[in-house]
Amino acid sequence: MDFDFSFFLFAASVVTGMIWGGYVLWLRVKKIPYEAAKEPLLVEYAHSFFPIVLLVFILRSFIAEPFRIPSASMMPTLLIGDFILVNKFTYGIRLPVINKKVIELNEPKRGDIVVFRFPKEPSVDYIKRVIGLPGDKIAYYDKKLYVNDTPVNQVSLGSYIGRGQGNDMTGAEQLEENLFGVEHSILIRNGAPSVEGTYIVPPETYFVMGDNRDNSNDSRYWGTVPEENLVGKAFFIWMNWDWQYKGVGFDRIGTSLK
């Protein structure tokens, strides 16, 4: 069990609910009308915070969870300072805190942008794009991607101009990649070293890569993502705030992800 924010929301819901519920039960035992009683300060706080904490816990655990992008690994799709929403139920309903799936729904598809618990340090959340599904053969050579021996089509869009904390990527080559129907932009640094190899995706795991191919710690380095590590699918940018530069990026707000 990871003692993350979900755990503390759960604990806060339980504690405030028990304080308020215990007080109501005590009033009933004493046959004191609730309207006639004056809540002690602790009970008053519990009464006020319980519904709010419980609502946030339910929304965050089962509907959507916000995340902030702290690195450049998904540029140009996601920029440093993007705040995104992640659909928590698209890959199945999981019990919060223990992360056990109880209802099967959809499975990840190639091209999905997913948030997952990093296999080597589950308390840390990563975000990458799904490249390989269970059983796939993935190859990456000379900065080109192959899925089941089929090259993934790439079209150059020219030199990339970085922005904000990602301005050091200015001069990288931007390409439009068509991952079997899912079109998205990627960045590569021609001449920069990169990990190459061929990988077979084990059952119930996924091969993921960052769109910033030469600046991403992904499955090429540490292996695949187990299905149970999936958190959800990123689908929306609701805010961008790059505090080291111009602040709020209004043109990023409301962007759908693909």
* Residues forming the active site: 73, 128
Most distant pair of Cα atoms in the chain: their distance: 80
CA distance 238 to 252: 8
How large is the angle between the packed helices 41-58 and 5-29, nearest 10 degrees?
130
Specify the 3-state DSSP secondary structure of 242. Answer: strand
Q: Which of 130, 53, 54 is nearest to 91 (CA)?
A: 130
Whether residue 76 has a cis bond before it, omega within 30° of 0: yes
Q: Which of 100, 110, 7, 115 is nearest to 66 (CA)?
A: 115
CA distance 3 to 100: 15
